[in-house]
């Protein structure tokens, strides 16, 4: 059977996972009726509406097997993108027909062009009222030129689509995706698998409770059968393992087959010791493929066991040893992550961005882990600091405050388009984005769109003030009362509500001024024998501002920690005692 291997790439929320749903349905690759966003099976993916993990499926169209890899659209998951692109010969580039190329479009497309992959452009969501498909097509072409596409890559086919309705066409609107499937068969080359002994580079890992470790990759050359002994070529040496089973993909299922054929994306079970990037090769002629190259991390934070007065109340795994075991497990599959053990109970996590690290922390807390993390910081390289390319899209009347805020963060505008809304692109230090998302939403009244991607390294930009407010810190332990919160709410935007238990040194809210403020939120109203009618009803509290894990990380100052448990997120000072904290500042 002929084979085509293709990845779907796009900016976040441009509709690629929805398009895959329609491709699976129309190719009759589903055994039963499924819901929407079938490939977003990870809980965090469904909650956030983004793809985090690269996944592969397959359909058969006119006798040709099409392996489809759904890739993340966010630059923070670039490790997943790079692994996905190592499996394919071409890409479907989805671009929103109204929004046009966005920051993550630039990031993923650059990776695809560098890998020499042939693109097919799909202008999606052409049914939008503000769709401008021809203009967006021109912008996409200009972006490819800017990113150094070859003449062959620039001669790309393009289609119009409404992925949500399962429709795509070249000239005349159609009610199905047949022209999209045909474009894949015509323009994506079949895999060029060389003759010779078996070779496969591990691009992903899975686990079977019956067969052990399962490795996923594309067969670079040769064939392998169930029961054969193969070599696992690692950077530090060579292992041997027996192939317990060979699987190929069909729809959402894995089908067991007798042998893996050249060019196909397959899963091999039973290969204990294999890691991502290793080569699985013929035992008699072991020859390694080039290792996967992954961009270096740009953001780091420190993770330690929780040491607050509430430590151990809510988590199952609370010790440094348990944290170490979990991080070692994560390193096997998360190729863009680095972990440095600074001490037996202190670990530095290095990743591609705040979101990359935040997803790991959120996953760990849901698994029952409890820990503390410090303020994220950027990683310098040879004296240079990482810069980001930021794109904002805002109503014209909101542009002024946004530009003023970015100016204070040492951003430089490099491009602007004015239409019904203004789109502007900036280059700025990566650390300038810490805390900016929340400020941006406030400045634009929730009407702005924001995206960014790694640009490169540049000279240090100097001091940047990313936070203009202080912390409200509890000075007494106890239970917060409505009376205390009401008295303080003109000066403090609270993160807690009445009835919340607090400890000394816990951050309970955001002080409206730049300095920290010690507050007592546990004071109860004095009772008297005479009480005015309706006096208790006069207490009207501003609703608290609950922080997500990313927002809490953005809020952190250098002397603060985020306490993460399966049930709670609490901000605190590193030094809880107020007197000891003042002495430390004085020194």
DSSP letters, 218-233, are EEEES-EETT-EEEEE
pLDDT of residue 52 exceeding 70: no
pLDDT of residue 520 exceeding 90: yes
CATH of domain 199-282: 2.40.30.10
The model's confidence at residue 75, banded by pLDDT at 50, 70 and 90, is: very low
What distance in Å separates the CA atoms of residue 487 and residue 259, rounded to the nearest whole number?
Answer: 73
Torsion angle of C-alpha atoms 118, 416, 457, 278, degrees rounded to 10: -30
Q: Which of 203, 204, 157 is CA-nearest to residue 181? A: 157
Higher pLDDT, 267 or 526: 267
What was the pLDDT predicted at 55?
61
pLDDT of residue 214 exceeding 90: no
What was the pLDDT predicted at 529?
56
- Give me the CATH topology for the region 470-586: OB fold (Dihydrolipoamide Acetyltransferase, E2P) (2.40.50)
Q: What mean pLDDT comes out for the span 539-565? A: 89
Percent of the chain with pLDDT over 70: 90
Most confident range (mean pLDDT) of 157-166, 188-197, 334-343 is: 157-166
Burial code (b: 16+ CB inside 10 Å, e: under 16) for 367-384 equals eebbbbbbbbebbeeeee
Annotated binding residues: 13-18, 124-127
Q: For the ranges 93-102, 128-137, 205-214, 343-352, which has the lowest average pLDDT?
A: 205-214
The model's confidence at residue 279, banded by pLDDT at 50, 70 and 90, is: very high
Backbone phi and psi for residue 356, each to the nearest 5 degrees, phi listed first: -55, -50
What was the pLDDT predicted at 528?
59
What was the pLDDT predicted at 77?
45
Using an 8 Å Cβ cutoff, are 333 and 278 in contact?
A: no
Percent of the chain with pLDDT over 90: 41
Domain boundaries defined on the chain: 2-187, 199-282, 385-458, 470-586
What distance in Å separates the CA atoms of residue 108 and residue 82, rounded to the nearest whole number?
Answer: 9
Annotated binding residues for GTP: 13-18, 124-127
pLDDT of residue 574 exceeding 90: yes
Q: Which of 9, 5, 149 is CA-nearest to residue 77? A: 9
What was the pLDDT predicted at 474?
95
Location of structure tokens 């002397």: 559
Residue range 140-191, pLDDT digits in tens: 999 899 889 999 999 999 999 998 899 999 999 999 999 999 999 999 999 8
Domains 199-282 and 385-458 share a fold: no
Architecture of 2-187 per CATH?
A: 3-Layer(aba) Sandwich (3.40)
Using an 8 Å Cβ cutoff, are 91 and 9 in contact?
A: yes
In DSSP terms, which residues pair with 362 in a beta bridge?
none
CATH of domain 385-458: 3.30.70.240
């Amino acid at each position: 059977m002929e084979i085509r291997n293709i990845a779907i790439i796009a900016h976040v929320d441009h509709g690629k996972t929805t398009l895959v749903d329609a491709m699976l349905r129309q190719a009759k690759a589903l055994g039963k009726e499924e819901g929407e966003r079938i490939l977003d099976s990870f809980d965090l993916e469904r909650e956030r509406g983004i793809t985090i993990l690269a996944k592969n499926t397959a359909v058969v169209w006119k006798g040709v097997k099409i392996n489809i890899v759904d890739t993340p659209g966010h630059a923070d998951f670039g490790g997943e993108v790079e692994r996905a692109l190592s499996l394919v010969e071409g890409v479907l580039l989805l671009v929103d027909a109204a929004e046009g190329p966005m920051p993550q479009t630039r990031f993923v497309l650059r990776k695809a062009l560098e890998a020499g992959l042939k693109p097919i452009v799909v202008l999606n969501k052409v049914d939008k009222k503000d769709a401008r498909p021809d203009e967006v097509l021109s912008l996409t072409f200009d972006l490819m030129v800017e990113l150094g596409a070859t003449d062959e890559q620039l001669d790309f086919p393009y289609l119009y689509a409404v992925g949500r309705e399962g429709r795509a066409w070249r000239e005349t609107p159609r009610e199905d995706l047949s022209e999209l499937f045909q474009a894949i068969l015509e323009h994506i080359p079949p895999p060029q698998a060389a003759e010779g002994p078996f070779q496969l580079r591990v691009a992903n890992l899975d686990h079977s409770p019956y067969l052990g470790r399962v490795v996923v990759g594309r067969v670079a050359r040769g064939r392998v059968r169930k029961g054969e002994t193969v070599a696992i070529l690692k950077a530090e040496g060579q292992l041997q393992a027996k192939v317990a089973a060979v699987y190929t993909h069909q729809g959402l299922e894995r089908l067991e087959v007798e042998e893996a054929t050249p060019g196909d994306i397959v899963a091999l079970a039973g290969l204990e010791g294999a890691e991502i990037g290793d080569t699985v090769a013929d035992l008699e002629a072991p020859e390694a493929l080039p290792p996967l190259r992954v961009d270096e991390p740009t953001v780091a934070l420190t993770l330690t066991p929780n040491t607050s007065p509430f430590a151990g109340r809510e988590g199952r795994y609370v010790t440094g040893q348990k944290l170490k075991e979990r991080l070692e497990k994560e390193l096997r599959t998360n190729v863009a992550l680095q972990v440095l053990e600074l001490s037996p109970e202190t670990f530095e996590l290095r990743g591609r961005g705040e979101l990359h690290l935040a997803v790991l922390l959120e996953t760990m807390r849901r698994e029952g882990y409890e820990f503390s993390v410090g303020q994220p910081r950027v990683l310098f390289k040879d004296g240079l600091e990482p810069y980001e390319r930021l794109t904002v899209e805002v109503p014209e009347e909101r542009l002024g405050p946004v530009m003023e805020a970015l100016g204070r963060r040492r951003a430089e505008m490099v491009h602007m388009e004015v239409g019904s809304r203004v789109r502007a692109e900036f280059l700025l230090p990566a650390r300038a984005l810490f805390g900016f998302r929340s400020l941006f939403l406030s400045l634009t009244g929730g009407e702005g769109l924001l995206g960014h991607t790694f640009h490169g390294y540049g000279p240090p930009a100097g001091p940047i003030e990313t936070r203009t407010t202080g912390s409200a810190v509890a000075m007494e332990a106890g239970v917060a009362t409505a009376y205390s919160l009401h008295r303080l709410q003109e000066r403090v935007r609270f993160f807690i509500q009445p009835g919340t238990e607090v400890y000394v040194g816990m951050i309970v809210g955001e002080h409206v001024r730049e300095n920290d403020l010690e507050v007592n939120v546990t004071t109860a109203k004095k009772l008297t024998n005479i009480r005015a009618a309706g006096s208790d009803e006069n207490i009207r509290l501003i609703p608290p501002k609950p922080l997500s894990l990313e927002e809490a990380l953005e809020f952190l100052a250098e002397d603060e920690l985020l306490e993460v448990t399966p049930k709670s997120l609490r901000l605190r000072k590193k030094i809880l005692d107020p007197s000891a904290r003042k002495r430390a500042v004085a020194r």
